[in-house]
Amino acid sequence: MRAAIGVALVAVLVGATLSYAMLSDGASHQATGSPTLAVAPTRTPTTATPAPTLSPSPVRVTMSKATSCNASLVPGATMEPQPVLRAKRTFALHIPVLMYHRIVPYADATGSLRGLIVPPSVFAGQLDALQRSGWHTITAAQLADDLAAGITPTPKTFVLTIDDGWGDGYTYAMPILAAHGFVGTFYVIAGRIDSGSFLTSAQLRDLVAAGDEIGDHTMDHVALEHQGPTRLAYEIDAAAATIASATGQWPTTLAYPTGSFDMTTEHAVQACAPMKMAVIEGQATYETWSTRFQIPRLKVTADMTPGALLAVMTNPPLPPIAKSK
C-alpha cells in the first residue's frame, strides 16, 4: 500500500509524505465461551431523516500527520462521549450485522471483485423482503451504545454496513436505504475521500444528515495485524481525524480491512478515544461488551436470494465470537 497519502478535502487537506515504522506486534489470546443472555429493557428503533440536507463545512486542518484521536485536532467536529457501562457481565445480543461492499451495476464496477458487488436491483429486492417481514435498522454506533447500556433492541433489528467508501454508496445505496426507512453504517477509507470514484466530503455530510453513520476503515486499507504502533496510529487515528474533518463528527466504530486483527490492533483501536466498537468478518451474530472490538458480520452477496437472506437473519449461526489471533 502507499506510504504516502494525500487526503484531498475541500480547500484545505494537503498531501504529505511520511515514513512509518513497520514493527511486528503480533499477540494472541484464547477464545471464550458464549455468555448467557440477560434480560434487559428494549429500545424503540430509530428512523432515517426523510430528506438529507447539506450541513455546514466543519473546521478543516491537515490530518495526514495526526498521531492521536485528540478532539482538539478538529475543533469544529463533535466527539460523542463514551457510553456508560450498565450491562451485566453476562449480557449478550444477537443482532445481525450485514456486510456489503459495492451497490452498483456490474458494468460500472470496474476494478472491483465481482463477489463484492451487489447490483442495485438485487439490493432493493433484499431490503424489500426485510421491510415486508418487519425488520428495521440501527447504526453500528447505536448497537454499541445499546450493548453498553444493557438495552435489547426491539425484535427484528439489524445493522447494515457498507465498506470502502465508494461513491455508489451515495448514488445507489443511499436512495434505496432511504426509500425503505433504513439507515446504514458506511466504513470509509479516509485516504480516498474526494478522490476518483470514492465518496466526497459533501456526500459524506449528506449521508450523516440522512441519519447514516460514517465509520473508520483506516487511512490506506492495509491489514492491521502485525503492524507497529506508528503505522497503527496513522491508519486508525489519522483516518478518524480526517473523517471528522470531512463530516463534522468523529467516527465511533471501525471495520478492520480484510477483517484481520490481533490483540495489538484491538488495543490501538481502543486507544482512539471516540471508538466504541469494531467489526470483523464472520458468519455469526453475537455481541458482548467485552468483545465489542471484534463483532462479526454476515456477508451478503448478489446471489443471496431475499428468502435466503431472511433465513439467515431469522436463524443465524451463533458460535462463540472469534477471538483475535
Render pLDDT for 155-191 as a digit per residue (tens, 0 to 9).
Answer: 999 999 999 999 999 999 999 999 999 999 999 999 9
Q: Please provide the CATH number assigned to the domain covering 84-314.
A: 3.20.20.370
Q: Where are the beta strands (DSSP E) in 212-271?
A: 213-216, 253-255
Contact in structure between 8 and 62 (CB atoms under 8 Å) = no
Q: Which residues contact 102 (CB under 8 A, 6 or more apart)?
A: 109, 112, 116, 117, 118, 164, 166, 168
Residue partners of 254: CB distance under 8 A and separation at least 6? 187, 215, 216, 217, 218, 236, 269, 272, 275, 277, 278, 279
Bridge partners, residue 277, by sequence? 253
How many whole angstroms separate alpha carbon 12 and alpha carbon 18? 18
* SS3 of residue 10 by DSSP: coil
Kindly report the pTM of this predicted structure: 0.81
Non-local (6+) Cβ contacts of 321 within 8 A are 31, 282, 284, 286, 287, 288, 291, 294, 295, 296
| CB neighbour list of residue 40: distance below 8 Å, 6 or more residues apart | 87, 91, 150, 151, 152
Q: Give the pLDDT score at 170.
A: 98
In the predicted model, residues of the chain with pLDDT beneath 70 are 1-64, 318-325
